[in-house]
């Protein structure tokens, strides 16, 4: 696991000669900073006439960044605006070779300070280790000091760890399949979780065959690499939940579409099809690192989906782990097949709740784009509502799609129990209904196909893998644990 490129520390005083980010939500000039008459005039013009929310003062020996966020309809919107402003500060700091920043603010609430710190940490991510000029391109910013007597070290550690977890998920997603096949993914995940204090077990091909995981085995038939099924666990003493929360993450390390071959341009980013597996692994890492009193399990079925040798083809009928027969009509609807076996396996834990993350359908992206997560729930209304609130808190918002039983008709097969696609309408929902068939517990499905990987940089979410879902679920679990 790569370490975070920027460290975060807490102090109770700032250095007047250091680079300072000053936050004020009162639209007043900071009394802590002594500004010259020219500086005051410049700031007032920028703030009052040009309505700029970020004002930069160059004092040659150091920079002052003044944040005047606009009033927002909710605190959640304010915090997101501050994360984005912080990303701009981070970009400017790196462009000017700055190595450190201080964050403070007069009468500023602690949530605002933490949002700025988080925005800089997440924005400072780079995935450039395969470039020959990587050393020259590395960001200069390496240290952030939070100046506050209202925050404690636990707040700083939490933001550091959840940011680290999010960036680790990005690393996993951004690795190409020739650097990270199913076996290597399982090894990297297991090594990191064990180092954080959790447990990890990897089921090999023989164990997967013994469990009769027909979905995972079918998708893997076209690969020269064997599949893996990784089980992660964090089980502290005195966990608040007697039955575990189980996370399930899709681990398709590369998806060609199989014999239902994707167009060439659609395959360029398919290294990201294991983003669900990366997300749930990073959630376990954050929870274990911060010792939350939550019993947590993650299941990651992993393989690539290719079309060589004896690969499965449209028309095949496969038998899933729970005995359900499935008519395969499209080999590019492979994610739901490997997830179905994992959802069946989850029953052995008698889970309190199962959360499923997958880059599952283009339909979800066409519906809402990359600005949120398509989500569906079955027998989990209260849990879903709490997660939706966390989604607003971290700006990883949920859009609920229905799980009405009428959609089940679209996935009924005439020659098997189910078929793996439901037609041209409501593709994200029928995929969710397919998964629901394999559950008997409170279940929430997150289709992260669009927001998991961005082909154009978007503020602190960056370019490529975003690590979406990590901060969302951590916030939910933290609230549940009442930490």
- Asked whether residue 1 is assigned to any structural domain, the reply reads no
**Catalytic annotation, pick one of 83, 84, 250, 336:** 336
Q: What is the mean pLDDT of residues 432-459?
A: 98
DSSP state of 177: T
Crossing angle for the helix pair 470-481 and 153-174, to the nearest 10 degrees: 140
Q: What is the mean pLDDT of residues 55-79?
A: 95
Q: Which of 161, 404, 353, 343 is nearest to 246 (CA)?
A: 353
274: CATH: 3.40.630.10
* Number of structural domains in the chain: 2
Q: Are 169 and 146 contained in the same domain?
A: no
- Asked whether residue 156 is assigned to any structural domain, the reply reads no
- For 366-398, what is each residue's pLDDT tens digit? 999 999 999 999 999 999 999 999 999 999 999
With cut-offs at 50, 70 and 90, classify the pLDDT of residue 3: low
Q: What is the mean pLDDT of residues 229-248?
A: 98
Given this model, what pLDDT does residue 1 score?
67
Q: What is the mean pLDDT of residues 161-180?
A: 98
- Asked whether residue 416 is assigned to any structural domain, the reply reads yes
Of 117, 151, 185, which one is at a domain's C-terminal end?
Answer: 151
Q: Are 187 and 336 contained in the same domain?
A: yes
- Asked whether residue 2 is assigned to any structural domain, the reply reads no
Q: Are 359 and 448 contained in the same domain?
A: yes
With cut-offs at 50, 70 and 90, classify the pLDDT of residue 332: very high
Q: What is the mean pLDDT of residues 343-349?
A: 98
130: CATH: 3.40.220.10
Q: Which of 253, 118, 267, 126 is nearest to 182 (CA)?
A: 253
- Asked whether residue 157 is assigned to any structural domain, the reply reads no
Q: Are 125 and 73 contained in the same domain?
A: yes
- Asked whether residue 373 is assigned to any structural domain, the reply reads yes
Given this model, what pLDDT does residue 482 score?
85
Contact 70, 81 (CB under 8 A): yes
SS3 category, 255 = strand
With cut-offs at 50, 70 and 90, classify the pLDDT of residue 30: confident
Given this model, what pLDDT does residue 72 score?
87
Chain-centroid distance of CA 62 in Å reads 35
- Asked whether residue 369 is assigned to any structural domain, the reply reads yes
With cut-offs at 50, 70 and 90, classify the pLDDT of residue 414: very high
Q: Are 137 and 188 contained in the same domain?
A: no
With cut-offs at 50, 70 and 90, classify the pLDDT of residue 26: confident
Q: What is the mean pLDDT of residues 330-339?
A: 98
Q: Are 80 and 142 contained in the same domain?
A: yes
Q: Are 198 and 68 contained in the same domain?
A: no
| Environment class of 453 (CB within 10 Å of its CB; exposed 0-12, middle 13-18, buried 19+) | buried
Q: Are 316 and 367 contained in the same domain?
A: yes
Share of the chain above pLDDT 90, in %: 91
Contact 262, 255 (CB under 8 A): yes
Q: Are 142 and 203 contained in the same domain?
A: no
Given this model, what pLDDT does residue 141 score?
97
Chain-centroid distance of CA 217 in Å reads 27
Rounded to the nearest integer, the mean pLDDT of the chain is 96
Given this model, what pLDDT does residue 4 score?
62
Given this model, what pLDDT does residue 28 score?
83
Q: Are 236 and 125 contained in the same domain?
A: no
- For 300-322, what is each residue's pLDDT tens digit? 999 999 999 899 999 999 999 99
Q: Which of 359, 357, 387, 418 is nearest to 480 (CA)?
A: 387
Q: What is the mean pLDDT of residues 438-442?
A: 98
- For 249-266, what is each residue's pLDDT tens digit? 999 999 999 999 999 888
- Asked whether residue 127 is assigned to any structural domain, the reply reads yes
**397 is known as an active-site residue:** no
Of 151, 172, 194, which one is at a domain's C-terminal end?
Answer: 151
Q: Are 342 and 422 contained in the same domain?
A: yes
With cut-offs at 50, 70 and 90, classify the pLDDT of residue 2: low
Q: Are 136 and 190 contained in the same domain?
A: no
pTM metric for this prediction: 0.97
Instruction: Tell me the C-alpha distance between 184 and 137, whole Å.
Output: 27
Q: Which residue has the tokens 């398709």?
A: 252
Contact 168, 127 (CB under 8 A): no
Instruction: Tell me the C-alpha distance between 22 and 123, whole Å.
Output: 18
- For 420-434, what is each residue's pLDDT tens digit? 999 999 999 999 999
**13 is known as an active-site residue:** no
Of 151, 177, 199, which one is at a domain's C-terminal end?
Answer: 151
Contact 470, 461 (CB under 8 A): no
Residue 463 structural domain: 162-481
**Catalytic annotation, pick one of 262, 347, 408, 479:** 262
Residue 160 has pLDDT above 60, yes or no: yes
Query: Among the listed ranges 71-75, 85-89, 167-171, which one has the minimum average pLDDT value?
Result: 71-75
For residue 476, give both structure tokens: 């939910």
With cut-offs at 50, 70 and 90, classify the pLDDT of residue 483: low
């Amino acid at each position: 696991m790569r370490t975070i490129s920027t460290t975060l520390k807490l102090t109770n005083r700032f250095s007047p000669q250091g680079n300072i980010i000053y936050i004020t939500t009162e639209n007043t000039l900071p009394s802590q900073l002594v500004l010259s008459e020219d500086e005051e005039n410049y700031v007032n013009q920028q703030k009052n006439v040009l309505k700029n929310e970020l004002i930069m003062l160059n004092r040659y020996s150091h920079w002052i960044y003044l944040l005047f966020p606009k009033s927002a309809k909710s605190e959640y919107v304010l915090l997101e605006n501050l994360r984005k402003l912080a990303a701009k500060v981070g970009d400017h700091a790196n462009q000017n070779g700055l190595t450190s920043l201080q964050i403070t603010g007069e009468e500023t609430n602690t949530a605002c300070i933490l949002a700025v710190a988080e925005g800089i940490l997440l924005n400072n991510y780079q995935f450039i280790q395969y470039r020959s000029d990587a050393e020259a391109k590395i960001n200069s910013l390496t240290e952030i000091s939070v100046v506050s007597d209202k925050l404690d070290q636990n707040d700083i550690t939490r933001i550091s760890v959840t940011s680290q977890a999010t960036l680790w998920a990005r690393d996993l997603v951004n690795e190409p399949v020739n650097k990270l096949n199913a076996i290597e993914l399982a090894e990297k995940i297991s090594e990191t979780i064990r180092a954080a204090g959790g447990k990890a077990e990897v089921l090999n091909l023989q164990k997967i065959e013994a469990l009769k995981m027909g979905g995972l085995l079918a998708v893997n038939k076209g690969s020269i690499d064997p599949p893996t099924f990784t089980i992660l666990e964090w089980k502290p003493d005195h966990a608040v939940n007697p039955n575990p929360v189980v996370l399930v993450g899709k681990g398709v390390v590369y998806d060609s579409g199989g014999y239902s071959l994707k167009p060439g341009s659609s395959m360029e980013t398919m290294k990201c099809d294991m983003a669900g597996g990366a997300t749930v692994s990073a959630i376990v890492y954050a929870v274990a690192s911060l010792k939350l009193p939550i019993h947590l399990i993650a299941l990651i079925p992993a393989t690539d989906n290719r079309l060589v040798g004896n690969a499965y083809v449209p028309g095949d009928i496969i038998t899933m782990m729970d005995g359900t027969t499935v008519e395969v009509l499209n080999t590019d609807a492979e994610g739901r097949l490997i997830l179905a076996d994992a959802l069946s396996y989850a029953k052995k834990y008698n889970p309190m709740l199962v959360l499923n993350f997958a880059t599952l359908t283009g339909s979800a992206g066409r519906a809402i784009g990359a600005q949120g997560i398509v989500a569906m729930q079955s027998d989990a209304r209260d849990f879903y509502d709490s997660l939706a609130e966390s989604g607003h808190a971290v700006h990883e918002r949920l859009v609920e799609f229905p799980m009405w039983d009428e959609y089940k008709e679209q996935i009924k097969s005439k020659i098997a129990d189910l078929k793996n696609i439901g037609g041209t309408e409501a593709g994200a929902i029928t995929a969710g209904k397919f998964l629901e068939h394999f559950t008997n517990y409170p279940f929430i499905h997150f289709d992260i196909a669009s927001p998991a990987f961005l082909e154009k940089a978007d503020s602190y979410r960056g370019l490529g893998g975003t690590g979406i879902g990590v901060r969302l679920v951590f916030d939910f679990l933290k609230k549940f644990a009442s930490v």
